[in-house]
Amino acid sequence: MIAGFLGGTIEGDPGVAVSEFAKIEEGRAGALSFLANPKYEHHIYDTASSIVIVGADFKPTAPLAATLIRVADAYAAFASLLRLYEESRPRPVGVSARASVAEDAVIGEGCYVGDFAVVESGAALAEGAMVYPHCYIGRGVSVGAGTTVHAGVKIYEGCVIGARVILHAGAVIGADGFGFAPDGEGVFSKIPQIGNVVVEDDVEIGANSCVDRATMGSTVIRRGVKLDNLIQIGHNVEIGADTVMAAQVGVAGSTKIGAGCMMGGQVGIAGHITLGDGVKMGSQSGVAHNVAAGSTLLGSPGMPGMGFHRSWAVFRALPELVKRVAAQEKTQGFYTENIKI
């Protein structure tokens, strides 16, 4: 049955049964595992898992106890099984008696609103939306069909959340953008933030991430964007479809990021700039200027990948270069202040 669902071929006992998933290095009888990364191959020869999903081109170098299912892409196949498992789990339905739901709020068929959640006036939850305990859905907020709002999420008034979105615990959507104007004496006055946030379909936003509302207009997270935990998106930012960002990325206000971009952890992006489609930035990179589509940047300030690697090679050689320069100056009779290496 599993092989049929995956479109794979079986090597071993076709009647073996499994009832759980396990990492290949922690396999046990009755478990299903997968092997996609070659550096874990040694585990397949002693794993206790009953079934292991492998690539079509996998060639064992020793006897195997597990039954194999060969597929074109082992990682993708295993992920599809996990999704099937997740979709088969029972889901809560109904409005808790301990929730606070405004009389004019619209709660669609098959929705769930958990204990101590608040749904304000004019808010609307489409069919199958799930709002877990201690969430806040502000006035006029729209939540799309099949969207999951995990415990403790806060969605401020007027924000629009698309279908099949996942907002993880503690995320804040629509808090005020960081807008202040100094007067002649250097005292900062708050600039009202009267826009909203629009999150399109199939977006996932990680725990304790924040997406600020626009000063005017909308902060926009396009379809399919995936944001990790602890990410800050400033006011009036636009993030293109299918862009992914790892933890602790920060994007300052009014920046436009193209589709299909990839940002490593702790990337910093200045405000009022544009990044084209397909830009890739390595962890801890920083950029304060426009970036052309398809660019790969490393380092801070960010520079093209090959230039960064060349600069890093020079940087690593600096201690030896200092010693060589000091020795040369000494032979020439120059005075060089001692530099501790």
Last residue of some domain: 65, 88, 111?
88
User: Does any domain span residue 253?
Assistant: yes
Domain shared by 77 and 190, yes or no: no
Tell me: cis bond preceding 182? Omega within 30 of 0 counts. Answer: no
Q: Pick the catalytic residue: 43, 150, 235, 289? A: 235
State yes or no: pLDDT of 138 exceeds 90.
yes
Domain shared by 15 and 158, yes or no: no
pLDDT tens, 274-290?
Answer: 999 999 999 999 999 99
What is the pLDDT confidence band of residue 324, given thresholds at 50, 70 and 90?
confident
User: Does any domain span residue 246?
Assistant: yes
Higher pLDDT, 330 or 267: 267
Write out the residue range of the structural domain in which residue 330 sits. Answer: 313-341
For residue 79, the domain's CATH number is 3.40.1390.10
Joined together, the tokens standing for residue 59 give 């060639």
What is the pLDDT confidence band of residue 1, given thresholds at 50, 70 and 90?
confident
State yes or no: pLDDT of 128 exceeds 80.
yes
State yes or no: pLDDT of 64 exceeds 80.
yes
For residue 242, the domain's CATH number is 2.160.10.10
Angle at 31 between CA 29 and CA 32, to 5 degrees: 135
CA pair distance 24, 180, nearest whole angstrom:
53
User: Does any domain span residue 125?
Assistant: yes
Least confidently predicted of 24-33, 43-52, 315-324: 315-324
- Strand positions, DSSP E, 172-285: 172-175, 180-182, 188-190, 196-199, 204-205, 210-212, 218-221, 226-227, 232-233, 238-239, 244-245, 250-251, 256-257, 262-263, 268-269, 274-275, 280-281
pLDDT tens, 164-182?
Answer: 999 999 999 999 999 999 9
Last residue of some domain: 31, 62, 88?
88
Domain shared by 99 and 183, yes or no: yes
Identify residue 163 by its one-letter amino acid code: A
Element (H, E) at 323: helix 305-332
Count of domains for the chain: 3
Verify whether residue 272 is a known catalytic residue. no
